Structure 1
Amino acid sequence: MRTMQADTIAAIATAPGEAGVGMLRISGARAIEVADAVFRAASGKRLKDAETQRVLYGHVVDEEGAPIDEVLALVMRAPHSYTREDVVELSCHGGSIVLRRVLGRVLAAGARSAERGEFTKRAFLSGRLDLSQAQAVMEIVSARTDRALRVAEGHLAGHFSGKIHAMRQKCLGLIAHLEAAIDFPEDEIDDVVIDEVERAVAQLRQEIRALLATAHTGRILRDGLPTAIVGKPNVGKSSLMNALLREERAIVTDIPGTTRDSIEEYADIGGVPLRIIDTAGIRETDDAVERIGVEKARGYIERAALVLALFDGAQPLGAEDEEILSLVAGRPALLLLTKSDLPPVTTPAALAAAYARCAGGDAAAPTILAISAREEQGLSALAAAIGDFAGTGSGLEEGSFVSDERSAALLRAADAQLGAALKTIGAGLSVDFISIDLRAAWEKLGEITGETVGEDIIDEIFSKFCIGK
């Protein structure tokens, strides 16, 4: 357990804006004393005399004793609280003015403003959460789909960090085994023991790589999948975006060039949070504004993690279509033949042949789907194809996904150290060198859960949290 800070902190813990209820959180050794200085219970009871997990009704008052707001005060005594410190939560009306006035009174009574993520940081420092679980708190707050929420909840429950702890224990057992031989050199280590260590290290690498295989999906579920919808004008890009969002977000007309800039929105597609970018139709144009939009569309093709390239199935392929095929060739893309409710002119086979010509025959054959946004035909197949791309069909326990780049980088570093240990064994070097490699892997795994991480890294991680969390 790390050293706790002695001061008492306070912050508004709900989002700004008008709401039915707004909550202010106070945590620290003087939390109850500070709250008692500003709160008057209708019953006359003091918060210092309240039992833990008890709610009192009353008012927060100003310096003269005049009511500021009618509130409920919840007392949580250490260690039975989020931070394992004394905590008081004041549930107020949700207006920003009243919450700021209440916070001002609490700060004047002896608390200080909490830093970003400081409540969760204190939960980590007290040992209530490890670092991976602490990061899951913000994943829950920012989850955009039910699937992303389930992954974050699994992380908070300790499913992912449990696997890391188990791997660290295996590492530590091997280190202890080898270091015992170093301490007692008269007992020579035989080849059987070295073979056992080698097999155990190889097994650990398999476990790490199985986790790393989930990083692509975990990152998508956490941050969303940047997806560009591209095609020539009037091919159905805005209609598709509206169908995916299930609302009329983009303007749909028969006039070419209606979308001149990019529109960006999030959509839940089969549990995958899609960050959809509807781009301007790609074509030659003399309109200066539209030309800027077309250039931005080309840029989005380069940067998107997935491209939905649309082609009018009721029309023959033209030069603009060929240009789009050239732009998406070799990139992660789904080719969509739109307007499937009309008599087909361009078939999937014709589109595949055109793609092969534009890609030079080297790129793998893409997935081609026929859809009609207007009639909602083929959208289920599109959602399934997006799910396949994101890897959300994995059978792994959802809480075991690697969902951030920091954890993935540390797992890769631990794997590299274990690989070095195998090379050391293969070279027949002393057990001292094997132990050094294993300890380096053990420390890298410990950085994921926060057991071997420096204060500077901890501060950086929690600085990305919102104030009040």
Structure 2
Amino acid sequence: MYIRDTIAAIATPLGSGGVGIVRVSGPDAEHIGRKVFKGSCTKNGGGFESHRLFYGRLINPPDGSLIDEGMAVLMRAPRSYTREDVLELHCHGGYYLVRAILQACISAGARLAEPGEFTRRAFLNGRIDLAQAESVMDLIASRTERSLSLAQSQREGHLSRSLTALKAPLIEALALVEAHIDFPEDEVDPAVFAVIETRIASVFAGISQLLATFATGKVLRDGVSVLLLGLPNAGKSSLLNALSGTDRAIVSALPGTTRDLIEETVSLQGLPVKIIDAAGIRAHHADCVEQEGVRRALDKVSEADLLLLLVDGTVPLSNELTDLVTSLAALPYLLVVTKADLPQLLDVSAFAAPLGICSVSAKNRVGVDQLSSQIYSHFVQSSAFSSDDCAVISNVRHRDVLIRAQQSLNAFAENLSLGLPPELLALDVRAALDALGEITGETTTDDLLDLIFSSFCIGK
């Protein structure tokens, strides 16, 4: 149930910073602003001018004591994020200061907002649909330019417009089916049901196209993990440093330098990638610490999204390397031949690398960009971005709903071929329409909304 009261929350991360912001939304936003903010806009009984920033003092309503000096802006409905009156109070970004101003707003009549309640109100007030609301968290969580672009695309409504285009032929098909229900005495024109089948088939194909983008959308949104595996001194730490552009890992000619897992998140052509540098794999461990590092490395093999098997190109094939390759025979991996700037003694024809071979020199960065491209291409299908305004799904909930819609359309086709009555056929079409409406929020429940917005931060 939507209670039209006034809420308040801190809209900036807690901690020390240049600026802190407290956001207030609801019918009493201006009234609360008059109580906690004293500036030229509140003199002589005056009020705020909408969308204008004012300088003044932030005070405690009970006793009028000074909290800080800062700025205030009131955005009157409907020209605000929530389509309600929204007040923002800007102060110095101290941990205690921002909390004190929030408490002042609560003392003046606001209540503490729940997680995601500002965005939930924006949805309930019709400013954005549910798919756009969910994209807000993706915007905040974006770690690369490509993931930000994907979130912006969904916030601007590209996915919503695609769903609207899919619903139009479904509505037409449903109208034709229901016309036969309303006039059962009329003879069924086979051409009518041919039109219905065409409409249903076009929607099914459109949903399939959207589902085909999920693998790419999900990795751009959530990122992937890539494990560097190989014998000691194969160049794993050097490659980690080359990919990340930092000296994250210690590089030494002494075998077994890396004992624990070292992780670094990088952007490879816009794809968020967590690179994991693991201890070198060898049968005879120098000590119990290295043995534990090898165990952790092997545990990560099944968890990583992609395995890079690094081999030293300056060393001939050894029994130890052969044993390692044999142990990975059932796993897809990309073979990376290292130290390409030095004379090569390894015969790579002995390897059957499932995902291909790449030669690199981390020292001179030879082949590093090519390796980045191969990693990117492994996860990202360029066909998912066939145009600037194409819709790409990245949300597991959206994928599951689209699968349900397809199942309903499959049921329609089967029931139509069985000659079932139009009343049952109409149920299948309605189920598909309702499923698509769940993504945009046209058909949803309070429980689903609670689940979605509970993952938001307070203040958003």
Name the counterpart of 2:2. 4
Alignment of structure 1 residues 113-262 onto 2, 5 Å: 113-262=112-261
Kindly state the Cα deviation for residue 333 of structure 1 after the two structures are TM-superposed.
Answer: 2.4
Q: Does 1:401 align with 2:399?
A: no
Kindly state the Cα deviation for residue 102 of structure 1 after the two structures are TM-superposed.
Answer: 0.9
| CA–CA separation in structure 2 for the residues paired with 1:70 and 1:392 | 52
Name the counterpart of 1:467. 458
- What per-residue deviation string (whole Å, max 9, x for no partner) do you get for residues 215-262 of structure 1? 011000110012111112111111111111111111111222221111
Report the AA paired with residue 302 of structure 1: S
Q: Does 1:331 align with 2:319?
A: no
Report the AA paired with residue 229 of structure 1: L
Kindly state the Cα deviation for residue 125 of structure 1 after the two structures are TM-superposed.
Answer: 1.0
Kindly state the Cα deviation for residue 43 of structure 1 after the two structures are TM-superposed.
Answer: 5.5
Taking structure 1 as reference, are residues 259 and 175 closer, same or farther at Cα in structure 2, changes over 3 Å only? same
Name the counterpart of 1:85. 84
Alignment of structure 1 residues 89-108 onto 2, 5 Å: 89-108=88-107
Taking structure 1 as reference, are residues 430 and 241 closer, same or farther at Cα in structure 2, changes over 3 Å only? same
- What per-residue deviation string (whole Å, max 9, x for no partner) do you get for residues 20-60 of structure 1? 11111111111111121111014644897222211111110
When the two structures are superposed, what TM-score results if normalisation uses the length of structure 2? 0.95
Q: Is the 8 A contact 2:41 2:48 kept in 1?
A: no
| CA–CA separation in structure 1 for the residues paired with 2:111 and 2:337 | 59
Taking structure 1 as reference, are residues 322 and 166 closer, same or farther at Cα in structure 2, changes over 3 Å only? same
Q: Is the 8 A contact 2:317 2:347 kept in 1?
A: no
Q: Is the 8 A contact 1:117 1:462 kept in 2?
A: yes
Report the AA paired with residue 288 of structure 1: C
Kindly state the Cα deviation for residue 453 of structure 1 after the two structures are TM-superposed.
Answer: 1.4
Q: Is the 8 A contact 1:10 1:24 kept in 2?
A: yes
Q: Is the 8 A contact 2:216 2:380 kept in 1?
A: yes
Name the counterpart of 1:449. 440
Report the AA paired with residue 312 of structure 1: D
Q: Helix, strand or coil for the counterpart of 2:9? A: strand
Q: Helix, strand or coil for the counterpart of 2:351? A: helix
Name the counterpart of 1:293. 293
Name the counterpart of 2:271. 272
Q: Is the 8 A contact 2:34 2:42 kept in 1?
A: no
Deviates more, 1:233-242 or 1:146-155: 233-242
Q: Is the 8 A contact 2:228 2:308 kept in 1?
A: yes
Structure 1 segments of 4+ aligned residues over 4 angstroms from their partners = none
When the two structures are superposed, what TM-score results if normalisation uses the length of structure 1? 0.93
Between the aligned residues of both structures, percent identity stands at: 44
Name the counterpart of 1:57. 55
Q: Helix, strand or coil for the counterpart of 1:400? A: coil
Report the AA paired with residue 143 of structure 2: R
| CA–CA separation in structure 2 for the residues paired with 1:175 and 1:433 | 11
1:371 to 360, 385, 392: 360
Kindly state the Cα deviation for residue 206 of structure 1 after the two structures are TM-superposed.
Answer: 0.9
- What per-residue deviation string (whole Å, max 9, x for no partner) do you get for residues 407-460 of structure 1? 111111111111111111222222222211111111111111111111111101
Kindly state the Cα deviation for residue 162 of structure 1 after the two structures are TM-superposed.
Answer: 1.0
Name the counterpart of 1:342. 342
**Structure 2 unaligned blocks of 5 or more:** none
- What per-residue deviation string (whole Å, max 9, x for no partner) do you get for residues 153-195 of structure 1? 0000000111112212221221111111101112222111111
RMSD value, Cα: 1.7
Q: Helix, strand or coil for the counterpart of 2:415? A: helix
Report the AA paired with residue 10 of structure 1: A
Report the AA paired with residue 375 of structure 1: N
| CA–CA separation in structure 2 for the residues paired with 1:390 and 1:46 | 63
- What per-residue deviation string (whole Å, max 9, x for no partner) do you get for residues 368-421 of structure 1? 100111110101111211121122522334661111111111111111111111
Name the counterpart of 1:358. none
- What per-residue deviation string (whole Å, max 9, x for no partner) do you get for residues 6-30 of structure 1? 2211111111222111111111111
| CA–CA separation in structure 2 for the residues paired with 1:392 and 1:241 | 25
Kindly state the Cα deviation for residue 126 of structure 1 after the two structures are TM-superposed.
Answer: 0.9
| CA–CA separation in structure 2 for the residues paired with 1:347 and 1:419 | 52
Deviates more, 1:255-264 or 1:40-49: 40-49
Name the counterpart of 1:25. 23
Taking structure 1 as reference, are residues 203 and 43 closer, same or farther at Cα in structure 2, changes over 3 Å only? closer
| CA–CA separation in structure 2 for the residues paired with 1:262 and 1:379 | 21
**Structure 1 unaligned blocks of 5 or more:** 356-364
Taking structure 1 as reference, are residues 45 and 177 closer, same or farther at Cα in structure 2, changes over 3 Å only? farther
